[in-house]
Structure 1
Amino acid sequence: MHHQIVTEYWSKPLAEWAAWMRTAKRAPGTIYQHTYRVGRLAERHPRRSPWTITLDDLVEHLNASEVAPSTQRAARTSIRSFYSWAVAVGRLERSPAALLPPVRVERGRPRPAPDEVTTIARFHRDRRIPLMVELGYRAGLRCCEICRVHADDVERTIDGYALRVLGKGRKLRVVPIESDLAASVLERAEGGWCFPGRIDGHLSASYVSKLISTALPERVTAHQLRHRFGTRAYQLGGKDIRAVQELLGHASIATTQVYTLPADDAVRRAALAAA
């Protein structure tokens, strides 16, 4: 993400909106993403107040760059949230974003990371990275969750070890993990953060993503580790989509349904078997 320069017309409203979201206990990552997306609109109209923006301006902004439909949908969500707040607190009588059309996003396909990623990562010279990869690959954690793993998050249950994960929207979930992974977390954390940093005591999600990418093959992303976990959890765990939804921390089961589709390699095997 590039460094934003927001003029005085927008800086105070954005700061007030961010404070309102903090009061509502929105997650720091959510607040950052929302304000960043509306900040892109602010950069397009630096000499105008946000209260003078029209529906036509918003439509033009959303269509101004070639981005993925999911990115455009996220921008629409943030803009609608900003102007809904403005109406709620009396800055506007009516939201210019209320009539923005929904953005259609095609249902995705699972893109699980290849099995060899853990072998590759195991020999990385930065000894933090193998564990980061394991947490994505074997526990399905997002980068924003990996960066916040703490020794206190590991718990012993009657069935074995589990990891308490504070996910998007500050929703807590419990992910069962194997004893060797639990031991690795506890050994590295030494009673504190697993990946300590200078901001908030732990590394940032973006830096964790950057570190993981140095250990992955070309065109394989950190998020594909989570895809691998979700796909295998569905295929090998009795095809219980509700259980996979809980493990991944998805608010909507529609998001989890991506993992019910056969992976590309499974489709290829089926096609070759039928040939």
Structure 2
Amino acid sequence: MKVLVTGAAGFIGSHASERLADLGHEVVAIDNFSNYYDISLKRLNADALAEKGILVRDIDLRFDDLSEEITEDLSHIFHFAAQPGISAASSFKDYKSNNVEATQRLLDAVEVLDKKPFFVNIATSSIYGLVATLTEDQAPLPASWYGVTKLAAEQLVLAYSRRNLLQSCSLRLYSVYGPRERPDKLYTRLIDCGLNNKPFPLYEGSSEHLRSFTYVQDIIDGVVSVIGKESVCNGEIFNLGTEEENTTAHGIATVEEILQKKIAIDHKPARPGDQSRTKANIDKARKLLGYNPQTRLKDGLEAQVTWFKNTF
């Protein structure tokens, strides 16, 4: 089958593109190579995909012509492209443009096709708000621009399913880590600080935050499990993550154990909109998708440390 992956040069999108190709699918990969973080890191991901025969095309969903990429021979769209995370450097306009308007433009391109691909929207536990422990049918309470705009994007996609304009589902991901994790995220930054003797910025109160830290390949297991289960998934939302909870403090200690060195801490004021707890309730995904994440935190972090040492 021929599938489209948006945000294919990013952390999770690049892994999804590789897995889909390994499963025998033809992957159409696009990314706008935004400067949210160092573009050279996205280029490295794109180079890794090129070695597997996947060319990442430089396409911005908000502005560029999508007619060559959105075609009737696509079986699925996996929509990873987004303005990620919680950043004081990003305005509400950035989140609205990249998360809502880009998604709407992608949907517009799909809507005109006679034969429409199944649309897999990639969402986030930030939709739930400051405490993300809910089931998929409980009301979300987003507390950040990221969470608000990702919820809006999700509902745009599902609205098309409700109107029978296409078939779709949305996957809410929990605290993903592993090789290629963005440099602004917890573990890549921790590893960098530990190996390069830099202080790690720790936001007030965050050491006791609880997280469902989920290894990227376990996430990809869930993403690709939608293929072949489209009738079950249509119009549905699924949580994807591990049920295992760990504090940020435990994560820091685990990286220190792997590196066999102490990491200096630079204490920072609390960050508005940051989640105090995420715990993935995956009962629905386990029942309908056969989803069963297995990777323990230390094992995943050892793989991430190896990747970092080999990359930088």
TM-score, normalised to structure 1's length? 0.27
TM-score, normalised to structure 2's length? 0.25
Structure with the higher fraction of residues in strand conformation: 2
Structure with the higher fraction of residues in helix conformation: 1
